Amino acid sequence: MRICTVVGARPQFVKAAAVSPALQSAGIQEVLVHTGQHYDRGLSQVFFDELGVPNPVTNLSVGSASHARQTGQIMERLEAFIQNSTPFDALLLYGDTNSTVAGALVSAKLQIPIAHVEAGLRSFDRTMPEEINRIVTDCLSQWLFAPTQTAVDNLRAEGLRQGTVRVGDVMLDVTRMFAKRARKRFPLSSITHHMPRKYALSTVHRPSNTDSPANLQAIFAALGCLPRPVIMPLHPRTRAKMQGIRVPGNVEIIEPISYMTMLVLIENACRLLTDSGGIQKEAYWLKTPCVTLRTDTEWPETCQHGWNSCVGTNPEAIVKAATTDPTGPQFPFGHAPRGTASGLIAEALTGRLGTGVEPHLSESGIAKQGNA
């Protein structure tokens, strides 16, 4: 079997770190295409180097642009690449970025089956570009690899049953693959002078926050009220919007960081405050309480017992959530019904997925597999 995987943005390189080796082990020939949506070294190459992701065979070099322009350019260049290649049996897509939806549209029109990893996630907020990208990609996909039962239920509610398989979360695979290595290779003292649990960590990059000076200022005002230093790796999108924003003295802005460095910083933080999707889960698996700087989440499972609170940008609500401890234990979430999510994806693609991985299997039915 020969598949083309399209990646373009930071979280997709991370997911490929688990899925690409699983595909290879299953005897699938994978051709990796980088759209060039992310191009700075700190947002792209560093992940390939650190996580051993296979080098893309081509980079479509689309760079930054408006949504329509970026999506359109990826479509045009990807179509040309596919048409000039030996035929593919499937196109594999991750998540919900413009690279994802562009890949889905091209593949559907070239009648190449689509495998969507992280299918079925919904924030139910169509002002988020990612929500539109997910809905379109799910509608066009033949394999819908859902990370959780909630995702399976969301797909069902939209009439998307065929091809849906709950495989678990590939990001849990990656966290497990790299957490131990990260602790050894990057001890906290090599990253920061702060002691474990004596600092908070924050990331902000959602357009709803960065493109609203009032929201961005409110977030920084809240961070300034926290009783701890706050480390903030800054996305270039946010950096570009910082003019006129007052940064409180306890907030330490740093450059974007690698995956393993981020794992270590998350694990040792007393709180994570973020508007990103993926790191809400990493915080949960690494047992760091999270405050989500949005009013919704694609990962409602993380909100059990206050491990994650979606509070938006109200400074009082942020400070209250950041200083309130979870009220109970965690429940397993995102685990594969057996083995790993990446392994099940490879099995499904090669048609070897047997019984025992039924979409209706509830999360509570999963044997606890230990922590990351």
What is the set of active-site residues? 205
Q: Is 300 in the site for ligand UD1 (CB under 6 A)?
A: no
Find the distance separating the first CA and the last CA of the chain, reported in whole Å: 31
Name the DSSP class of 292.
Answer: E
Stretch that binds ligand UD1, among 36-44, 225-233, 304-312, 353-361 (CB under 6 A): 36-44
Q: Is 331 in the site for ligand UD1 (CB under 6 A)?
A: no
- Residue 58 or residue 250: which is nearer to ligand UD1 going by CB? 58
Site string for ligand UD1, 57-86 (x = CB under 6 A): -------x----------------------
Name the DSSP class of 349.
Answer: H
Can you tell me the distance from the alpha carbon of 143 to that of 163, in angstroms, rounded to the nearest whole number?
5
Stretch that binds ligand UD1, among 93-101, 187-195, 289-297, 360-368 (CB under 6 A): 93-101
Sole binder of ligand UD1 in the list 9, 75, 232, 257 (CB under 6 A): 9
Which token pair is 105? Answer: 């549209």
Minimum CB distance to ligand UD1, residue 211 (Å): 10
Q: Which amino acid makes up residue 75?
A: M
Q: Is 43 in the site for ligand UD1 (CB under 6 A)?
A: yes
Can you tell me the distance from the alpha carbon of 162 to that of 352, in angstroms, rounded to the nearest whole number?
17
Site string for ligand UD1, 201-220 (x = CB under 6 A): ----x---------------
Beta-carbon contacts of residue 349 (< 8 Å; ≥ 6 apart): 1, 3, 23, 26, 28, 90, 92, 115, 143
Q: Is 194 in the site for ligand UD1 (CB under 6 A)?
A: no
Let me know: does 23 contact 117? Beta carbons within 8 Å: no
- Residue 35 or residue 150: which is nearer to ligand UD1 going by CB? 35
Can you tell me the distance from the alpha carbon of 73 to that of 99, in angstroms, rounded to the nearest whole number?
10
Q: Is 35 in the site for ligand UD1 (CB under 6 A)?
A: no
Beta-carbon contacts of residue 186 (< 8 Å; ≥ 6 apart): 260, 261, 264
> Which residues are near ligand UD1 by CB under 6 A?
9-11, 37-40, 43, 64, 96-98, 129-130, 205, 236-237, 240
